Structure 1
Amino acid sequence: MFTALALIAILFQVLTEGILLRPLNITNLILQNSYILVLAIGMVIIIILGHIDLSVGSIAAFVGAISGILIINHQMPVFLAVLISLAIGGLIGAWQGFWVAYVKIPAFIVTLAGMLLFRGLTMLVLKGQSVAPYPKSFQDISSGFIPDIFGNGSLHLLTIVIGIIFSAIFIINEVRHRKTQLNYHFEVSSIGLFVGKLIFMIALINIFTYVLATYEGIPTILVILFALVVIYSFVMKKTVIGRHVYAIGGNNKAASLSGIKTKKVTLLAFVNMGVLAALSGLIFAARLNAATPKAGNLFELDAIAACFIGGASAYGGIGTVGGAIVGGLVMGVMNNGMSILGLGIDWQQAIKGLVLLLAVAFDIYNKNKAS
């Protein structure tokens, strides 16, 4: 999928005559797709478990509406309002997770009901009207940038330094990983291929940070996204609960018989999805600078598509957080590139639907081939 993303980006870079990868447009790509990427992180866990969540767009809209009422109408401090909003998202996730995990109602039905319920509640609490504007401190969640501590020149020096630091960390981790594999006599790539990979990734990291540095630097939302990806990747790959999620998605009955508390893990996954849906709603409200009844429309479909395009299996048990992020970026680059080319929303929706169908068909083909 990294290769596919690179090829799609190169294609649209050529078709848009260099507009796609300009510093301003790359920053806009990050800002425009941030709330979908946050949803995709939670959605991929739900999909790995073998479930689906159709309510995340409505939950995002509902929590965004609550934040608008608390911050704008009642002048509540931003930090406190954000905590309350995330807690409400967690409670909604627990409510839906209870019906799925303990009452055994299919997640499709539960979350379809949730989609209708919370969309209706959003219109009810907002009385069909938008609430605006948010204070600057709240808007910075989505549209703010990390300040440059080294000065205010034309180049954001802190971003360059961060790129160099991440390059060093990447080299150390890759060398350490290769050394561990050699110690256990695992097969590794040739030294030439290994060095080539290091050079390519270091160049990619520093080119990316340099492009950001020529505009405003690193967006605040990119820091939030990076932290989420690191934390959730670690949880899914290195912790017991992450292993349990994959085990349940692979074979629920076998996981239960082996002692895994399948109901508890499923409930926690939906609580997590509720919190991330709430965060997505806050990010979208901050970017729009308004809480609106139409927020979150079709967010769930974009998040689901990102997961499947990123390699998650429609049968459960397979998928990664990184893959979901790459899938979301594929969708984002396609949307942005087609918009620059002037393609209408009708063609954009048709092409996105075709890409999703092909991604799932490819997954089923590989599964049948392996069996």
Structure 2
Amino acid sequence: MELFKDLKTMLKKNIREYGMFIALFAIMLVFSYLSDGVFMSPRNISNLINSMGYIAVLAVGMTLILIIKHIDLSVGYVAGFLGAVAAMLMTAYKMPVYAVIPIILVLGMLIGLFNGFMVAQLKIPAFVVSLAGMLIFRGALLQVTVKTGTIIVPDDAFNAIGIGYIPDIKLIPGYHTITLILGALAIGLFIYFQFQNRRNKKKYNFEVVPIKIFYIKLVFISLLIAYVTWILSDYNGLSWTVVIVLIVVGLYNFIQTKTVLGRHIYAVGGNGEAATLSGIDVKKVTLFVFASMSTLAALSGILFTARLQSATVSAGTGFELDAIASAYVGGVSAAGGVGRVTGSIIGALVMASLTSGMNLLNVGVSYQYIIRGAILILAVVFDVQTRNKK
């Protein structure tokens, strides 16, 4: 009884952190039951995770934008436009992949710096700046693709970024061995860092969860990682898209949790005036966040173009809305100052799971939009209610 009491107390205190995991678990159970197990098949799970890659990357950048109480509506068409530019450079100008990718990322960073300058230095509302950017890059995308409508990318190395899988050493028949090894390594690192974090909290007399609850958390998440790893290894293993998303999430999670810049981002989002008075350069933080957002939009455009193996006139449509929805569902506060990139990735997985499950059940597109909109509203209501209680 004491264990359940501690578990209930922990869930109440950390409902924002664990609520999304509970929601994801429930969604997967429901769709698995309704689809007679097809939803949890290795092929479907692999496709689901790979298909959310370009949105997950955008959601990471959008998390930082929303934390500092701004918004960027241009990222969808920035991704579409830069993806089309990448395709054009490889086809019309015969540039190699290793040159095209850095160029596209730098272009994305420059776009973000311009947006950040307009917001931070000229004090133009981010909504207006990004809305103008959305229209500009929508037109730019149409201009790039005006001749053919679709730019086919024949480069196998580039396309492998979106549809390729990491190579294997084939030690275990029927399974992707490298994926299993990486999964085991991920579990080991997760357990190590959890113990290290617990020791650091106790060292500085911070509150820690009871040891039994701590072990339950370790076992649950380790089993989850093991299960996903096993599912992926039973199909084609880890894709390059997943590897790129994991690298991005790891980098930004480190920035958020382990650096001075991360603390400054939260400070600016919590109270910009207080952050300025405490000596934080709010303008530099804003420039970094916007530059980061558009750089990730460029990466998203690369992933999407590589996945389709082409650039189309409709690329980027609605990407920004999916990224914003993923961030809010993943626990970012509508009031700013609260949010984790890891949570936004779970939010992206929740939204992708909803779409995949509804497609398997042949739910009409119109109803899919309605349901996804309702989920977003519920996430924001949940955020407001939990903040009011605190």
* TM-score normalised according to structure 1 size: 0.96
Which segment drifts farther, 356-365 or 23-32? 356-365
The match for 1:330 is 350
Q: Are 2:93 and 1:74 aligned?
A: yes
User: CA distance change for structure 1 residues 176 and 241 in 2, over 3 Å: closer, same or farther?
Assistant: closer
1:115-169, Cα deviation, whole Å (9 max, x unpaired): 0000001111221611103311001111111111245842111111222222222
2:375 to 352, 355, 370: 355
* Greater displacement, 162-171 / 68-77: 162-171
Counterpart pick for 2:223 among 176, 193, 203 = 203
Contact 1:134 1:286 in 2 (8 A): no
Distance 1:152 1:291, change over 3 A: farther
Deviations 1:268-295, CA, capped at 9 Å, x for gaps:
1111111000000010000011011110
- The Cα of 1:185 is off from its aligned counterpart by 4.7
Relative distance call for 1:194 and 1:306 in structure 2 (3 A) is same
1:29 matched to 2:60: no
1:63 paired residue number: 82
1:86 aligns with 2:105: yes
SS for the counterpart of 2:181 is: helix
Q: Deviations over 1:246-288 (max 9, x none)?
A: 1111111111111111111101111111100000001000001
Cα distance, 1:196 vs structure 2 = 2.7
Aligned partner letter, 1:273: M
Q: SS of the residue aligned with 1:131?
A: strand
Residue of structure 1 in register with 2:12 after alignment: none
Residue correspondence of structure 1 range 139-218 to structure 2 within 5 A: 139-151=159-171, 153-218=173-238
1:136 aligns with 2:156: yes
SS at 1:104's partner residue? coil
Identical amino acids, percent of aligned pairs: 46
Q: CA deviation at 1:347?
A: 0.4
Q: Please, which of 308, 324, 336 is the counterpart of residue 304 of structure 1?
A: 324
Aligned-partner residue type, residue 364 of structure 2: G
Q: Number of paired residues?
A: 370
Could you list the runs of 5+ residues in structure 2 that have no partner in the other structure? 1-19
Matched residues in 2 for 1:116 and 1:204: separation? Answer: 42
Letter in 1 for 2:360: I
Q: CA deviation at 1:18?
A: 0.6
5+ residue gaps, structure 1 = none
| 1:260 aligned to which of 276, 280, 285 | 280
Deviation of 1:8 (Å): 1.0
Letter matched to residue 287 of structure 1:
R
Task: Assess if the C-alpha contact under 8 Å between 2:73 and 2:127 holds in 1.
Answer: yes
1:243 maps onto 2:263 in alignment: yes
Name the CA distance, whole Å, in 2 between partners of 1:125 and 1:187.
55
What's 2:26 paired with? 7
One-letter identity of the residue aligned with 1:25: N
CA contact (8 A) 2:97 2:158 kept: yes
Query: Which residue type is aligned with residue 194 of structure 2?
Result: E
Q: Distance in 1 between matches of 2:195 and 2:386?
A: 32
SS for the counterpart of 1:208 is: helix
Does residue 269 in structure 1 map to residue 276 in structure 2?
A: no
Distance 1:244 1:62 in 2: 31
Query: Structure 1 residues 141-150 or 291-300, which shifts more?
Result: 141-150
Q: Secondary structure at the match of 1:291?
A: strand
Q: TM-score, normalised by structure 2?
A: 0.92
SS of 2:231's equivalent in the other structure is helix
How far does the alpha carbon of each residue in 1:46-71 deviate from its partner, in whole angstroms, 9 at most, with x for none?
A: 00010000000110011011001101
